[in-house]
Amino acid sequence: MKRRVVITGMGIYSCLGKNLEEVCKSLYEGKSGIVLDPSRRELGFRSGLTAHLEMPNLKGILSRNQRVYMAEQCHYAYVATAEALKNAKMDPDWLAAREVGLLYGNDSSAAAVMKSIDTMRDKRDTTMIGSGAIFQSMNSTVSMNLSCIFKLRGINLTISGACASGSHAIGLGRMLIQSGLQECVVCGGAQEVNPCSIGSFDGINAFSIRESEPCKASRPFDRDRDGLVPGGGAATVVIESYESAVKRGADVLAEITGYGFSSNGDHISVPNVDGPSRSLQMAISEAGIDIRDIGYVNAHATSTPVGDANEAKAIANVFGSHRPEITSTKSMTGHEMWMAGASEIVYSMLMMKNGFIAPNLNFENPDEDSGKLNIPAVRVNRNFDTFLSNSFGFGGTNSTLIVKNIK
């Protein structure tokens, strides 16, 4: 008998706000976090559009000797994780007495790598790169830093699954708890926000060039979408066995009832319909629910022409006549990539807990595929008790999570 896995804490740092309360307000108001960064054009970017967020100032919160090993995205992840642990009512003593795991999604640390290579080339002396660079440059920079700062003693691993990293981190964390190998796992996803990390992405013409209207650039499912807008930050969810949560008197927020995954086995960048469909079906089958119980779908839809169309086809195929509200919060945040699978669980949780569905901004005209779905362009004030969240990534990696409200 697999154990039930519940969410008992959440934290977020994104272009929509620096904590759960701010982000919830932005979602409710349908606020876009997208801006134009003219400096990117000077670097030869095709598009200067990006999500905007400030670097958290952790001086005075973490020591110099802790901060020196942290890449940009670790700062976001620290803030999100501190909030999530506080939200879960887990203090340092509780964590120290147990083997709490950490699975965090991250798939680049480009700015740190660039900085160290620039220093090496300039100074011709590797000492000048400094002690922090190696720890900032590795893909596992987030999990290695968070585990040391929060003294986590269970599994300690970074999940790199492109834009599905954060979702897979939660799904795999759930599997570890289901199997009894872990009682509690801190899961999440982080994404650096700087030109180094996405210059090559811009170079393959993946980004929207609607620079005249930054807030209208990310328009998932809309007929006139022309590409994604890069974003970032970090999101953390604390998951644990239902028994653990009850035993310590935690507020049980929701239960993760389904995790589905698949690989397209196809093109490296162009998604198909079959892979996502199988991921959706696996999650629904594992959850053992009637599809009509799903009241909201948080789509992966990034605002790219082919990706959105194929996801719309997959959702329509799987859901048939059941037409729950479907939105992409990327219409507000841009594509948060390695972070997205985790942040979109937090966004959906905030909506579920507060009885609304944030608008799919800029959905002005459907196309042949999105026209078959129920996509609200304005906020819907409605309670729902189960949602499904899709995350897909380069290489054809797909992840789907289903989460059920617990009141």
Question: Minimal CA–CA distance to 315: which of 331, 335, 299, 293?
Answer: 299
Distance in Å, CB of 122 to another protein, minimum: 11
Distance in Å, CB of 69 to another protein, minimum: 8
Rounded Cα–Cα distance for residues 99 and 35 (Å): 42
Does the annotation count 184 as an active-site position? no
Scanning 7-15, 19-27, 59-67, 217-225 for contacts with another protein by CB under 8 A, the matching segment is: 59-67
Rounded Cα–Cα distance for residues 112 and 278 (Å): 37
Rounded Cα–Cα distance for residues 283 and 399 (Å): 9
| 37-43 long-range Cβ contacts below 8 angstroms, 24+ apart | 39/195, 40/195, 40/202, 43/195, 43/199
Q: Does 59 bind another protein (CB under 8 A)?
A: yes
Does the annotation count 168 as an active-site position? no
Q: Pick from 39, 63, 179, 285: which binds another protein (CB under 8 A)?
A: 63
Q: Does 68 bind another protein (CB under 8 A)?
A: yes
Residues 109-128, mask of contacts with another protein (x by CB under 8 A): ----------------x-xx
| Catalytic member of 15, 24, 163, 184 | 163
- Identify whether the C-beta of residue 176 lies closer than 8 Å to the C-beta of residue 185: yes
- Identify whether the C-beta of residue 271 lies closer than 8 Å to the C-beta of residue 221: no
How many whole angstroms from its chain centre is CA 187?
Answer: 11
Phi, psi of 366, rounded to the nearest 5 degrees: -75, 160
Within residues 208-247, the interface with another protein by CB under 8 A covers: none
Question: Minimal CA–CA distance to 343: which of 142, 76, 154?
Answer: 76
How many whole angstroms from its chain centre is CA 58?
Answer: 22
Q: Pick from 17, 101, 132, 189: which binds another protein (CB under 8 A)?
A: 132
- Identify whether the C-beta of residue 160 lies closer than 8 Å to the C-beta of residue 105: yes
Q: Which is nearer to another protein, 65 or 381 (CB)?
A: 65
Rounded Cα–Cα distance for residues 344 and 163 (Å): 12
Scanning 63-71, 107-115, 210-218, 343-351 for contacts with another protein by CB under 8 A, the matching segment is: 63-71
Q: Which is nearer to another protein, 43 or 61 (CB)?
A: 61
Q: Does 179 bind another protein (CB under 8 A)?
A: no
CA dihedral over 186, 188, 194, 197, signed as positive or negative: positive
Q: Which is nearer to another protein, 61 or 270 (CB)?
A: 61
Scanning 43-51, 56-64, 179-187, 367-375 for contacts with another protein by CB under 8 A, the matching segment is: 56-64
Q: Which is nearer to another protein, 133 or 350 (CB)?
A: 133
How many CB atoms sit inside 10 A of residue 21's CB?
12
Q: Side chain identity at 210, as an amino acid letter?
A: R
Q: Which is nearer to another protein, 64 or 121 (CB)?
A: 64
DSSP secondary structure letter of residue 171 = H
Phi, psi of 88, rounded to the nearest 5 degrees: -85, -5
Q: Which is nearer to another protein, 59 or 407 (CB)?
A: 59
Q: Does 65 bind another protein (CB under 8 A)?
A: yes
DSSP secondary structure letter of residue 82 = H
Distance in Å, CB of 128 to another protein, minimum: 5
Distance in Å, CB of 58 to another protein, minimum: 12
Query: How many residues make contact with another protein (CB under 8 A)?
Result: 12
Scanning 58-66, 95-103, 179-187, 272-280 for contacts with another protein by CB under 8 A, the matching segment is: 58-66
Q: Does 148 bind another protein (CB under 8 A)?
A: no
Residues catalogued as catalytic: 163, 300, 335
Binding site for another protein (CB under 8 A): 59, 63-65, 68, 125, 127-132
